[in-house]
Chain A
């Protein structure tokens, strides 16, 4: 079995005030924060600095270091590549920087993607770092997320690694029988492997569902844990309230 699962790689165990907040208030705070960031006009560059400062304050309280965040930011890379291409590809007014002609709308678009994307990833990482997977089912149920969606999230977390293990075992089994997946003519075997894996996952899904029915599952995941208090909501939403203020100012001043 693979040691660190996706879920544990993104979680930074701790006991800070941010860690101790109930998961549902953190989820609401994070999602709202991201919406506010996206809604900010990209011309108001100072606003994004302000958002970063708000996040940095949360990191200080939660004890999250930049060195922990940086490697986990790599997931953003494909978007960065897209953003870098835009100033070259976009039409409109152009400006010459160091002998290279760049599109002004393209530059703004690239900045928008980079700034908003980076902040979005940072907010998600902050949420993941301070929220244990075990808190999710209860939190989602208390947020009245439909039972089927909560179930899908819980099952995904639980079975993604199991499925990866299964894929790995099937791969080893093929290799041991002389398969060389690097050659193109072997692509058929690989495709059948993927198909087999899909069937296995499907069958497992059916068995899991039967087992859940047997224990009285009727479409809702029980809400474990205590509901959040008003004080928790106030504390968790403070940075988001700051972000709303920044966004409103940005709209008024630009």
Chain B
């Protein structure tokens, strides 16, 4: 697999059915195992881009390839398994009555049957430290727990690429740190769609700035986040009192 990029977008453009242009000529290549933050102000097209990565939206021009498979009718199922999308609101993602059933929903759709299905559920719940909550009602979990279960519902599909939309939104500081610890342990290719810059700095090594549906910057995250002029030009700024720590190692 070495050499084949995990994610490769070539000239991707997208217009909504009402004619509004959301993405313009996006070229983006992400190597396997890379951790990339997709930054940008509200309405920049971040979520639209994310929905292209597993074929929920089809580009009006250009191509999207995941692990060398160009998304098309015949690769769609495989690509949906390979790309795990974690949506911003866990309540949109979790709909089954219990945590375990929700975590099993994805792999069951992809044809995994017991006893392997139960192993997948156990493995995914263990990865997000939620094993003891398997039989709980998803509606009765805390915000942080719900977010981690939402992550488990895609981990159980054993994705090659993990895409998270605003994972730190609405989390209290402890839940935020716990989620970061879980994410750091994972070895999948990671795309973090966010405007939470410190979180991006903590978890990613590379950053891409999306504004007006175009990629306007792409580079090591330390360089991007220390370029105040660049950030300001795209309605991004570090929170008060925060400075990017020197990367260890």
Contacts and interface: CB of A to CB of B under 8 A. Distances in A.
Bound pair (A, B): yes
Interface of A: 1, 5, 132-134, 136-137, 154-155, 157-159, 161-162, 204, 207-208, 210-218, 222, 224
Nearest to B110: A216
Given A137-B101, A224-B108, A216 B80 contact: yes
B109 A222 contact: yes
A132 B109 CA distance: 23
B109 A224 contact: no
B114 to A, nearest CB: 9
Contact of B51 (A155, A161, A210, A224): A210
B139 A216 contact: no
A157 B98 CA distance: 12
B236 to A, nearest CB: 25
Given A137-B101, A216-B77, A222-B104, 11 more contacts: A133-B137, A137-B97, A154-B95, A158-B97, A159-B95, A161-B139, A211-B85, A213-B56, A216-B106, A216-B110, A222-B108
A211 B93 contact: yes
Contact of B96 (A5, A158, A214): A158
A222 B105 CA distance: 7
B56 A216 contact: no
B157 A155 contact: no
- Which among A158, A159, A162, A204 has the greatest number of chain B C-beta atoms within 10 A? A158
Nearest to B154: A215
B54 interface: yes
B139 A214 contact: no
Interface in B133-156: 135, 137-140, 153-154
A215 B157 contact: yes
Contacts of A218: 109
Given A207-B89, A214-B56, A224-B108, A155 B81 contact: no
Given A134-B101, A208-B92, A222-B109, A215 B87 contact: no
A213 B106 CA distance: 9
Interface in B14-33: none
A210 B56 contact: yes
B116 interface: no
Contacts of A157: 97
Range, interface on chain B: 20 to 34
Nearest to A158: B95
A210 B87 contact: yes
17 contacts: A133-B97, A134-B98, A137-B96, A157-B97, A158-B138, A162-B91, A208-B95, A210-B51, A211-B95, A214-B83, A214-B85, A215-B157, A216-B77, A216-B110, A222-B105, A222-B108, A222-B109
Interface in B115-143: 135, 137-140
Contacts of B153: 215
A207 B139 CA distance: 17
B96 A154 contact: yes
Task: Pick the 7 closest A-B CB pairs, nearest first.
Answer: A222-B108, A216-B109, A215-B106, A134-B97, A207-B92, A214-B85, A211-B93
A136 B139 contact: no
Contacts of A213: 56, 80
Contacts of B77: 216
Contact of B92 (A137, A211, A222): A211
Contact of A214 (B54, B89, B91): B54
Contacts of A212: 95, 105
A210 B91 CA distance: 13
Given A134-B97, A213-B56, A215-B157, A204 B92 contact: yes
Contacts of B91: 162, 204
A211 B88 CA distance: 10
Contacts of A137: 96-97, 101
A211 B80 contact: no
B90 to A, nearest CB: 10
Contacts of B135: 134
A125 to B, nearest CB: 20
A154 B137 CA distance: 13
A1 B105 CA distance: 26
B101 A224 contact: yes
B182 to A, nearest CB: 19
B155 to A, nearest CB: 11
